[in-house]
Amino acid sequence: MKLTVVGGGSTYTPELIDGIAGRRTSLAVDEIVLVDPDEHRLSLIGPFSQRLLEHAGHSAKVRTTTSLEEGIEGASAVLLQLRVGGQKARASDETFPLTCGCVGQETTGAGGLAKALRTVPVVLDIADKVRRLAGPDTWIVNFTNPVGIVTRALLQEGHKAIGLCNVAITFQRWTSALLGVDPSTVELEHVGLNHLTWERGVYVDGVDRMPELLADHIEGLAKHIGIDGALMRRLNMVPSYYLNYFYNHDAVVKKQLTEPPRAEVVAAVEKELLDIYGDPSVVTKPEQLSQRGGAYYSEAAVQLVHALTGGAGAEKHVVNVQNNGSLPFLPDDAVIEVSSTVDANGGRALPVRPVEPSISGLISHVTAYEYLALEAAKHGGRDRVANALLAHPLIGQHAIADQLADELIAQNRDLLPWVKGN
């Protein structure tokens, strides 16, 4: 099997390679192609990835290329983990909304919209090439943020695509340690949209251990997620840490105004990682990689590709798939993040029990924003950008939406196809 990673120059690519090297599934990969426009990064990450595999006794060969066409031709599966504009664009996403008193974040709010506008056209172009050069049956696994919007763009154009995020598997691993059980025995009742999810149940051998978590581990949960324990008890569920941007918006903005943006922290970690990767004596994953983000990405991605390529039969995974009636208050073509059955035919959302009004309204609100965001990403136009911002629950005031729209376009002028050159 040829596995292609678009954005293979990312410093967390070794996470994926480590998952393959560790033989966590029987995924039969014999060729891994890392595609990236950055030759310097490829020159460090490619050889390091090969050393990881060889040290683990895995026979797969790693190739690197700056040519997308060469990289995807004949691929069995293509993983997307790209960042259009790099950390510089991320730094902009995390700072320009603050001038209007809005949260600065790369996957939600105005920053998240900016990332979607830059990313969707690039991803759709890549997907067209995958269809032409690898074949229409080649699976595209999207890890590129904002995952929900990008995955919906791919599905809307008829591509064989599925979205993946590491939030659920990270929570599964963390709670299994709290409960003292094997992670494989923990099944989450995970519901919502990408980066807007709640755990409504944590089942071990069919028994819901959520009451125990909320009773005995609430302080640890609150510290880990950053959300008040009393709120979690009142909701009777555990929100993802991304809900901080909604439940604690003003406090988050106040903190962001006094701290360096996450992009600066990540850039420093990346520099250190690249130095380590360039050391030919390093043959195992460095501890510093845990600071980069993307924890357990390798396990989730490898297991998912295994299921999609027919190697495992039907399996349960938390993925981003079309709604198709699972959440009856959303349109069928909305992309939701829930437990799904995954096999060679793709992912199908499992039935979801009725969703509480305490969260269904916010899910609906953000879904409406995502529809408008995708329209803006595909068709461009300043008014489409402003309309999407107006619909976002973290913005919602027309004067602020208009100001942010103008600033977003100014900050991304060279990265938006419909603005560039105008």
Query: Which residues are known binding-site members for Mn(2+)?
Result: 165, 195
C-alpha to C-alpha distance for 42 and 23, rounded to whole angstroms: 24
C-alpha to C-alpha distance for 337 and 349, rounded to whole angstroms: 8
Q: Is 242 a catalytic residue?
A: yes
- Other C-beta atoms closer than 10 Å to the C-beta of 331 total 14
Of 156, 127, 131, 130, which is closest to residue 144 (Cα–Cα)? 127
Spatial contact of 309 and 336, defined as CB atoms under 8 Å apart: no
Helix (H, G, I), strand (E, B) or coil at 357: helix
Beta strands 238-239 and 335-343 are unpaired
Q: What are residue 149's phi and psi, to 5 degrees?
A: -70, -45
- Other C-beta atoms closer than 10 Å to the C-beta of 28 total 11
Tokens of residue 310, six digits: 């027919």
Query: Which residues are known binding-site members?
Result: 90, 145, 165, 195
- Other C-beta atoms closer than 10 Å to the C-beta of 354 total 9
Helix (H, G, I), strand (E, B) or coil at 64: strand
- Chain-centroid distance, C-alpha 179: 26
Spatial contact of 417 and 121, defined as CB atoms under 8 Å apart: yes
Catalytic residue among 12, 203, 241, 242: 242
DSSP 151: H
Query: Which residues are known binding-site members for substrate?
Result: 90, 145
Spatial contact of 285 and 18, defined as CB atoms under 8 Å apart: yes
Beta strands 77-80 and 61-65 are unpaired
- The residue written with tokens 């939030």 in the block is 167
Please give the positions annotated as active site: 242
